[in-house]
């Protein structure tokens, strides 16, 4: 089955530690995205990538970093510089252009708790 996997489902870290969230897709999509979701704030874009070895900052990139070494993978690192990292993180992917534009497929999410 094609889809997006995110691991782990729940993640707990101590303040000051970096943590990496995994996102893998087998949909052969060119574009991948990371969103942060907080109650009452909808989804906010952290980073996105349209091609391997290239990515762009979204609206709230500070304190986060990404890499795109393979088409299928787009890991997100939450660094110790992120002031309020506790949130629900969603990864998505999409085709580029054509009828599929904007139709993003989402993973099940990772809930990160930092104490």
Partner 1 sequence: AQSVTQPDIHITVSEGASLELRCNYSYGATPYLFWYVQSPGQGLQLLLKYFSGDTLVQGIKGFEAEFKRSQSSFNLRKPSVHWSDAAEYFCAVASFGNEKLTFGTGTRLTIIP
Query: Which residue ranges make up the site for partner 1 (CB under 8 A)?
Result: 4, 31, 33, 40-43, 45, 48, 50, 58, 88, 90, 92, 94, 96-97, 99, 101-109, 111
β-bridge pairing 110-114 and 10-13: parallel
> Among residues 22 and 80, whose Cβ is nearest to partner 1?
22
Residue placing its CB nearer to partner 1 in the complex, 81 or 96: 96
User: In Å, how far are 25, 48, 102 from 98, measured between CA atoms?
Assistant: 20, 19, 9
Please say which residue, 82 or 104, places its beta carbon nearer to partner 1. 104
What is the smallest separation between the CB atom of 36 and partner 1, expressed in angstroms?
Answer: 11
Cβ–Cβ under 8 Å, residues 25 and 72: yes
Contact residues for 41 (Cβ-Cβ < 8 A; gap 6+): none
Closer CB to partner 1, residue 16 or residue 97?
97
- Minimum CB separation of residue 16 from partner 1 in Å reads 27
* Nearest approach, Cβ of residue 108 and partner 1 (Å): 5
Label residues 16-26 b or e (16+ Cβ within 10 Å = b). eeebebebbbe
- Residues paired with residue 106 on neighbouring β-strands, in sequence order: 92
């Amino acid at each position: 089955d094609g889809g997006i996997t995110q691991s782990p489902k729940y993640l707990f870290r101590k303040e000051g530690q970096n943590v990496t969230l995994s996102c893998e897709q087998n949909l052969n999509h060119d574009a991948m995205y990371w969103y942060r979701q907080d109650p009452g704030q909808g989804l906010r874009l952290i980073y996105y990538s349209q091609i391997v070895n290239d990515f762009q900052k979204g609206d709230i990139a500070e304190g986060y970093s990404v890499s795109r070494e393979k088409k299928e993978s787009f890991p997100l690192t939450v660094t110790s510089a992120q002031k309020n990292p506790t949130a629900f993180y969603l990864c998505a992917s999409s085709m580029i252009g054509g009828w599929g534009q904007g139709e993003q497929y989402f993973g099940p999410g990772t809930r990160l708790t930092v104490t």
